[in-house]
Amino acid sequence: MLEAEIGIEEFLEKYVDTERFRQACAKCGNYNKRWSCPEYDFDTLEFWRGFRTLKLYAEQLFTEGMTPAEAYAEYGRMKNELDGRLLAMESDGSVSLAAGSCARCAECTKTAGKPCVHPDKMRYSIESLGGDVVKTVSELLGTEIKWADAGGLPEYFVLTGGMLLK
């Protein structure tokens, strides 16, 4: 597990650009279709500023020898495991950040305009709140995000979650 810690104001100054990443999210099929994804009815900067410290937790999934189907299945398993572990670590007002968008339900209730069915378990990701995960991973966690090669897989995936501390 890769770990790092940074104050929220420093993280906002160096690693958050809400409008840039909202526009990036707008190109994704989940945009405004999952409660864990923008658009939001709250101010994301105010959300960040409800905390003092961000602890980052990341895991790498090396894909050598895997087919794309095997790699993505393992990615899903690791995401569920990391998100669950971070959720269980919450205490004293801390709130975890998921490694990507919420995928608990096959079809999120947001598309029907209904409330989230698991608000106690749904958590936002760093990128959905405007965080630059590529820069965060590179500068704070000491590794690099890799992109898919011609074989359809990157050398490794980096699953990045976090914990917001009061």
Binding-site ranges for ligand SF4 (CB under 6 A): 34-36, 102, 104-105, 108-110, 116-118, 122
- Distances 50 to 66, 93, 129, 149 between C-alpha atoms, Å: 41, 10, 13, 39
Q: Name the residue among 152, 139, 164 with its Cα closest to residue 75.
A: 152
Nearer to ligand SF4, 6 or 34 (CB): 34
Nearer to ligand SF4, 94 or 109 (CB): 109
Find the shortest distance in angstroms from Cβ 99 to ligand SF4: 14
Find the shortest distance in angstroms from Cβ 155 to ligand SF4: 30
Q: Give the Cα separation of 108 and 99 in Å (integer).
A: 17
Nearer to ligand SF4, 119 or 151 (CB): 119
Count the alpha carbons within 13 Å of 75 in the hemisphere toward its beta carbon: 20
Tokens coding 31? 């945009």
* One-letter amino acid of 40: Y
Find the shortest distance in angstroms from Cβ 5 to ligand SF4: 27
Find the shortest distance in angstroms from Cβ 47 to ligand SF4: 16
